[in-house]
Amino acid sequence: MVSAYGPYTETSILGFSSQEFGDDFEQLCDAYRDDLRLICLLCHQKVLKGRSQDQNSPLTTRERECLLWVARGKSSWEVSQILEISEQTVVFHLKNSMKKLEVFNRTHAVVRSIQLGLIVP
């Protein structure tokens, strides 16, 4: 078994088995452990890339604007004044962002959107 870890707590495990090599298979895997880790990492990145392409841009422009202002330390009320929308509309956009990013609070939403390159504070 070889494991790979992604930047957002994703984990991949790649397993190998063979009856052809018998008892020597485990020693063979140990001898090529670094190469197998590289293969696992490349597979892991390919899966993540495919997943992010499916998502394209999961957030609307307004959701990204709200998150950007929150990242800059603004409250929902302050964001509403800056964007000239109601405070409830800001909260609505932030909640939608949190659902789409699969996070539980606005700070985590900001961090995740920065990690994904959706906003640049």
pTM beyond 0.85 = no
Measure Cα distances from 111 to 6, 17, 119 in Å: 16, 39, 9
The 10s digit of each residue's pLDDT in 20-70 is 766 677 777 778 777 777 777 777 666 666 554 445 678 999 999 999 999
CA atoms within 13 A on the CB side of 105: 2
- Number of H helices and E strands in the chain, helices first, is 6, 2
Domain assignment present for residue 101? The answer is: yes
Tell me if 121 is assigned to some domain: no
Q: Are residues 47 and 68 in the same domain?
A: no
Domain range for 49: 2-55
